[in-house]
Amino acid sequence: MIIRVLNDHQYDVPDTELDRLNRLDDVLQSAVDHADQAAFDRALADLLAAVRGIGSPVPDDTIVTSDLVLPGDGSSLEEVSALLGDEGLIPG
């Protein structure tokens, strides 16, 4: 499974870790739903640490789409809400 961390890398993560990542992602979703920046910061840091811990970076010259995309380090709740709210925000 390929996971992109925005403004960082794509990581190749074993499919067996999906459940664990989904649980962390649920916490992140809940933080966004409750507009809780502190909880969001914690959940995002946990999720990114998990992905980097279990995944290996995809080489630069490999072109592959991601199954999951995560906000980058230090993203604000505001930025992420804006991304989710309007697909037109993603350039390219």
Instruction: Write each residue from 15 to 54 as x if it is in contact with another protein (CB under 8 A), else as -, in one continuous string.
Output: ------xx--xx-xx--x--------------x-------
With CB under 8 A, what is the number of residues at the site for another protein?
36
* Nearest Cα residue to 21 out of 44, 50, 55, 57: 50
Backbone φ, ψ for residue 36 (5° rounding): -105, 100
Backbone φ, ψ for residue 60 (5° rounding): -60, -35
| Pairwise CA distance, residues 84 & 61, whole Å | 28
Among 6, 12, 36, 54, binds another protein (CB under 8 A): 6
Q: Which residues form the interface with another protein (CB under 8 A)?
A: 3-4, 6-9, 21-22, 25-26, 28-29, 32, 47, 60-72, 79-80, 83-84, 87, 89-92
